[in-house]
Chain A
Amino acid sequence: DAKTTQPTSMDCAEGRAANLPCNHSTISGNEYVYWYRQIHSQGPQYIIHGLKNNETNEMASLIITEDRKSSTLILPHATLRDTAVYYCIVSSNDYKLSFGAGTTVTVRA
């Protein structure tokens, strides 16, 4: 699977949008971009995934660049409960999810 690069940490203000970038420059055509998050001491939680079109669900939006080499996860109105480690993962047609170091997001009041 392609590797991903994410910033180590970022802060955002409560109520504002949080934009989390991810680079996956070696992604191949059949690989999807998945986002998970892990709130302290809990299991990871699936957020969203996509192939090449932008996706939106009740939790977040996923914007994938046209060349698919990077993506951005958008939390539209961050709350204190969104403080977590966010993982961007590229997955192909197998069962493996290879978690990188992720981005530690701290939402501040």
Chain B
Amino acid sequence: DTEVTQTPKHLVMGMTNKKSLKCEQHMGHRAMYWYKQKAKKPPELMFVYSYEKLSINESVPSRFSPECPNSSLLNLHLHALQPEDSALYLCASSQGTWLAANNEQFFGPGTRLTVL
């Protein structure tokens, strides 16, 4: 299995809602990532988990809360979002060896989030 799956594909939420995005991989990868991509812009890194521990937080607002329950799963909990948070949220995974030689990241299809 060489896929990264993400659910849901689309999500519409109000500013007072709480929702979660889910990501799963079964490649035995030990690093998992959340990226945010606004329309016509490149992906921007948000969080990195390495061996189920948060290793990088790119100064993301606290209304985004990541969670890594186990090595195959990654969640992104959303609360009190703003309309400008509407974007494509991408999950990725990689081997997690901290070596640039092995840093191929495998991306999921993304969740398209709309905040009303």
Mark A residues whose CB is within 8 Å of B.
30-32, 34, 36, 38, 42-46, 49, 51, 85, 87, 91-102
Residue B90 at the A interface, CB < 8 A?
Answer: yes
B109 near A91: Cβ-Cβ < 8 Å: no
A83 CB to closest chain B CB (Å) equals 16
A100 near B42: Cβ-Cβ < 8 Å: yes
A30 near B109: Cβ-Cβ < 8 Å: no
A51 near B42: Cβ-Cβ < 8 Å: no
A92 to B102, CA, bound (A): 10
Q: Which of B3-59 contact A (CB under 8 A)?
A: 4, 31, 33, 42-45, 48, 50, 55-56
A43 near B42: Cβ-Cβ < 8 Å: no
A30 near B90: Cβ-Cβ < 8 Å: no
| Chain B residues near A30 (CB-CB < 8 A) | 100
A32 near B42: Cβ-Cβ < 8 Å: no
Residue B70 at the A interface, CB < 8 A?
Answer: no
A46 near B98: Cβ-Cβ < 8 Å: no
Residue B114 at the A interface, CB < 8 A?
Answer: no
**Contacts beyond the supplied A46-B105, A94-B98, A98-B45: 15 A-B pairs with Cβ under 8 Å:** A42-B110, A43-B92, A44-B43, A44-B107, A46-B104, A49-B103, A91-B103, A93-B100, A95-B56, A95-B98, A95-B103, A96-B48, A96-B56, A97-B105, A99-B44
